Structure 1
Amino acid sequence: MKKSTLLNADIAYLTGTLGHTDEVTICDAGLPIPEHVQRIDLALTRRVPSFLDTVRVYLTDSQIEGVIMAEEFATVSPECHQALLEALKQEEQRCGKTFSIQYVSHEAFKQRTDNSRAVIRTGECTPYANVIFQTGVVF
């Protein structure tokens, strides 16, 4: 049995096959997912699993260098947005790297998911609780 934090086989395979600058979206239960993009659906019921729990586990297995969020996230759901920023700050300290953070409109965010290698859907029901991670390198 796998010893690390991440146990989901689909996400473990995804992180193991990502290349530098590949993008992965982690989203709430309502974000539309393009038909041609791999969907990894973790949603069991409302709020399970949560967006932040999913992000934290994902970050244990994948090195990122960039973060893209909708501008609306910070104003409509400030508590969740701030919690994500805190998780990112902790990850920066853990790995010794600084991540670029970019904000776009929610419409532009939805269009950007079209480029994702996969979209990981959570049970989160907080508006705009979505993030795109750009894959970095560990060296």
Structure 2
Amino acid sequence: MLRNIHPMLGPDLLHALRSLGHGDELVISDANFPSHSLGPRVVRLDGIDAVAAADAILAHLPLDTFVEAAAFRMEVVGDPDAVTPIAEEFAEVVRRRAGDFPIRSLERFAFYERARTASLIVATGETRHYGNLILKTGVL
């Protein structure tokens, strides 16, 4: 048994998170995201929403303070200035768990391209549209 580990983080995800290094990126994806076809390792959190997954992960994962942006969300197609309710929830979790990090938006296909180079994708059961977040790992 381990202390102070978020109970949502099982052994596969803990191992994957522990394997990340400074500057590595991970994607927290919704149920519609093409997680398995993009290439990076995928750990599934079926039945868990993306905001809860982000909260559990950010309880332990530091964000990168050496870059201009360490968190990214997918833009709404046709309305790049829109901020969805789930994007607002992601921003609150990031602020509470990691600090004052803005979440930058990326056009849908730019988000997919960046996700291709991620070290890890955490595929959740999130059913809300645009429930996708990229996080860049920092240092302890």
Which TM-score bucket, shorter chain as reference?
A: 0.7 to 0.9
Partner residue, 2:34: 32
- Partners of 1:12 and 1:89 in 2: CA distance: 22
Partner residue, 1:71: 75
For the 8 Å contact 2:71–2:135, the answer to whether it is kept is yes
| Bigger fraction of residues in helix | 1
Letter in 2 for 1:86: E
- Partners of 2:38 and 2:110 in 1: CA distance: 17
Alignment RMSD: 1.8
Other structure's SS at 1:64 match: coil
For the 8 Å contact 1:12–1:61, the answer to whether it is kept is no
Percent identity reads 23
For the 8 Å contact 1:39–1:121, the answer to whether it is kept is yes
Query: What are the ranges of 5 or more consecutive residues in structure 2 without an aligned counterpart?
Result: 65-69
CA drift at 1:62: 0.9
Aligned partner (choices 85, 96, 116) of residue 90 of structure 1: 96
Other structure's SS at 2:122 match: strand
Report the TM-score, using the length of structure 1 for normalisation: 0.84
Alignment of structure 1 residues 1-139 onto 2, 5 Å: 1-3=1-3, 4-6=5-7, 7-33=9-35, 34-43=37-46, 48-65=47-64, 66-72=70-76, 75=82, 78-93=84-99, 98-138=100-140
Count of matched residue pairs: 129
Letter in 2 for 1:52: V
Other structure's SS at 1:13 match: helix
Runs of 4+ in 1 over 6 A off after TM superposition: none
